[in-house]
Amino acid sequence: MLEKPQTGESGKPPQLAAKPAGDVAPLPEHYFRQSVARGLSGRLLVLTVIFVMIAEVLIFVPSVANFRNVWLQNHLDTAEAASIVYLDDSGIMLSPEAQEHLLMATQSLQVSIREGSVSRLMASGPAPGPVTEHISLGRMQPMSTLRSAFSTLLFGGERVYHVSGPMKSGEATIELVQEDKYLRNAMLSYSRNILLISLVISLITAGLVFLALYWLIVRPIIRISSNMDAFSQHPEDAALVYRPTGRNDEIGIAEARLSSLQKDLQATLRQKQHLAELGLAVSKINHDLRNILASAYLFSDRLTGVADPTVQRLAPKLVKTIDRAVEYTRSVLAYGKAVERPPDLQKHRLHALVEEVGETLSVEKPDHVEWRNAVPEDLEICCDWENLFRAVLNLCRNAVQAMEALPQDGRQPRLEIAATATPRETTIRIADTGPGIPGPAREKLFTAFQGSAKAGGTGLGLAIAFELVRGHGGSIELETTGPEGSVFRITLPADGNGAKTPALPRP
């Protein structure tokens, strides 16, 4: 169902009606404001920033631990480079000045070399505080490296640790005692840089993702919903049918479906309009026809006074037929006001009703078509006489019309009406030996204006019969049809249960 259009700030609906839809029609400003602030694209922007930041944190954790190891290794390497002189010339102590330079270069309090169980002090500064951690590079597990790195980052700054690692130029091990403030400061500055780079990367990525999604998804959705607003205000305007952009993705499919939905809706509206106009025309014609029939009724009434025996026999039938026609015109006018009379259900003898159908048809029925009323004379049904009469008459007239067109091949065409009753329902069969119902007519047989397959037919007869039988709470079906003939079956509930005011099946 189409939604009610949104109203703008001024209380008026957005001014979209006259603009062509689906193309490059400018979109109302409030759609953009809304979509960026609260809409899909704004949310996507925030989500992308969050996701990129999460990815950066996941990368940061191992990289800060790695940074710490590299930093420590660099300091061990510096100490090793200085120790080469010492190892060449063992036993000679470095001068106090050289020791000071070595301690500064390695940001250490002590530098020593261990060979086996012998540790030789190379340089020593002020006495170090108690050592809180021993770090042996090259022997640390990944998890303990991570733990140790975050411990330095979060709680360090005033602690002293002892770090050792194998020398690259020999069997010995080089050892440093350091205050952790230098390491921690380096790690903090590294973290700050990573955070800044992450922010920049996430903003650039989010911006690109936002632009791509806005262009590919959000903008087409805004255009579709704007078209829906415009179309719902003027569904009959053909210029407002959405013009798909020809994309072959899900949005393109939605566009094509919307467009065909709107076209179908417009076709239905046109048909409804057409039927409404037709109804009005019928009512007008009917109105004047009723007056003409009233005059015909008066003339035919006078015929009953003529002494001629043929006139005496036919005049009452003529009066009754015209009377019935007047009643129909009256009920058609009432239908135009949607106040169809509810069925007046009473017990009637079906045989008599079928007999009256036969008499009415006798004028139009060619002589070679045999008429047979096979309804048991005592069979009573609960029905509205006039309505059931019309339903049966329409079915019988169709059969006669189909058979009169048949080539006379020696077989006598026959129309037979039979009925059977059970305590629950009565079944009436109208069987002919006509040519059968043509295929195209069979598909929409009971739909007004759509079931006709003969020249001059309006396609209303069966729709009316359907409506009248359904008004009795019954049903009408085509039982069989073929070159041997057709059988229509009417089923009526025995007690008239389920009867309702008839309504014509919609085309």
Ligand X SMILES: Nc1ncnc2c1ncn2[C@@H]1O[C@H](COP(=O)(O)OP(=O)(O)OP(=O)(O)O)[C@@H](O)[C@H]1O
Residues that bind ligand X (CB under 6 A): 394, 398-399, 402, 432, 434, 436-438, 441, 445, 451-454, 457-463, 486
Rounded CA-CA distance 186/190 in Å is: 6
The two beta strands, 414-421 and 370-373, are: parallel
Residue 167 or 402 with smaller CB distance to ligand X: 402
Regarding 398 and contact with Mg ion (CB under 5 A), the answer is: yes
Closest separation in Å from C-beta 402 to ligand X: 3
Instruction: Pick the stretch among 153-161, 208-216, 219-227, 393-401 that binds Mg ion (CB under 5 A).
Output: 393-401
Closest separation in Å from C-beta 451 to ligand X: 4
Rounded CA-CA distance 61/145 in Å is: 11
Residue 185 or 458 with smaller CB distance to ligand X: 458
Residue 226 or 481 with smaller CB distance to ligand X: 481
Instruction: Pick the stretch among 13-21, 187-195, 221-229, 396-404 that binds Mg ion (CB under 5 A).
Output: 396-404
The two beta strands, 370-373 and 118-124, are: unpaired
Residue 478 touches which of Mg ion, ligand X, none (CB < 5 to 8 A by kind)?
A: none
Nearest 5°: the CA angle 352, 322, 291 is 150
- Give the residue closest to Mg ion by C-beta: 461
Span 438-467, contacts to Mg ion by CB under 5 A: 461
Residue 219 or 444 with smaller CB distance to ligand X: 444
Contact in structure between 380 and 349 (CB atoms under 8 Å): yes
Is 46 exposed, middle or buried, given 0-12, 13-18 or 19+ CB atoms closer than 10 A? Answer: exposed
Regarding 164 and contact with Mg ion (CB under 5 A), the answer is: no
Closest separation in Å from C-beta 322 to ligand X: 20
Closest separation in Å from C-beta 426 to ligand X: 21
Residue 48 touches which of Mg ion, ligand X, none (CB < 5 to 8 A by kind)?
A: none
Closest separation in Å from C-beta 505 to ligand X: 11
Question: 């139009």: which residue's tokens?
Answer: 364
Residue 68 or 390 with smaller CB distance to ligand X: 390
Contact in structure between 148 and 134 (CB atoms under 8 Å): no
Q: Which residues contact 249 (CB under 8 A, 6 or more apart)?
A: none
Residue 113 or 487 with smaller CB distance to ligand X: 487
Query: Mind giving me the DSSP string for 461-496?
Result: HHHHHHHHHHHTT-EEEEEEEETTEEEEEEEEETT-
Rounded CA-CA distance 345/388 in Å is: 10
Residues that bind Mg ion (CB under 5 A): 398, 461
